[in-house]
């Protein structure tokens, strides 16, 4: 049975520590990732015309990826600072603290790739396709589109798929990390 605690100014101020900061950062990153991945895009896709949806995604994703990069970098830095086994056993992913650092590093890598490489290429391809739609007077998926449109469709599909997969892997990594810290704590 737990003890009854009383609130005091010092008790409230004691809530502000590295462990609390870590958990708030993790919760923010996981919640944002789940919302953007599974809800926001679906709602926007069902609500907006395609070109407006594309323009919205073009604006949202860079912000999402930058925040993801910042938060995952902070979490990784805090994890490495407070888990010395990561530095001494960095090549041993079976060491639990090292595995968790790899998981956070994977989130950082996937989101950085999306922000710096895959996302800009996907947006560029989307805008090229929209421009060609105007020039041809046909929507990208109408029968009889040009070979150039077919190539852009294929490129867009591939880039979008790779981006989605990288983002989904980041979400799965975050869920795994959450299961870990939920069972074993942050160790901070």
Per-residue model confidence as pLDDT tens digits over 97-142: 999 999 999 999 999 999 999 999 999 999 999 999 999 999 999 8
Per-residue model confidence as pLDDT tens digits over 63-77: 999 999 999 999 999
DSSP, residue by residue, the chain:
-PPP----HHHHHTT-SHHHHHHHHHHHHHHHHHIIIIIIHHHHHHHS-HHHHHHHHHHHHHHHHHHHHHHHHHHHHHHHHH-THHHHSTT-TTSHHHHHHHHHHHHHHHHHHIIIIIHHHHHHHHHHHHHHHHHHTS-TTSTT--HHHHHHHHHHHHHHHHHHHHHHHHHHHHHHHHHHHHHH----
């Amino acid at each position: 049975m737990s003890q009854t605690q009383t609130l005091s100014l010092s008790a409230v101020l004691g809530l502000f520590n590295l462990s609390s900061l870590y958990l708030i950062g993790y919760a923010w990153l996981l919640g944002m990732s789940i919302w953007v991945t599974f809800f926001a895009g679906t709602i926007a896709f069902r609500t907006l015309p395609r070109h407006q949806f594309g323009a919205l995604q073009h604006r949202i994703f860079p912000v999402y990826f930058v925040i993801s990069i910042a938060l995952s970098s902070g979490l990784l830095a805090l994890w490495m600072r407070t888990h010395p086994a990561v530095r001494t056993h960095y090549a041993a992913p079976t060491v639990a603290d090292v595995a968790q650092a790899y998981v956070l590093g994977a989130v950082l890598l996937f989101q950085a790739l999306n922000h710096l490489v895959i996302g800009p290429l996907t947006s560029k391809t989307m805008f090229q396709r929209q421009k060609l739609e105007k020039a041809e007077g046909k929507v990208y998926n109408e029968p009889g589109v040009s070979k150039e449109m077919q190539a852009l469709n294929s490129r867009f599909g591939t880039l979008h798929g790779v981006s989605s997969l990288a983002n989904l892997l980041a979400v799965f990594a975050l869920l795994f990390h959450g299961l870990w810290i939920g069972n074993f704590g942050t160790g901070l």
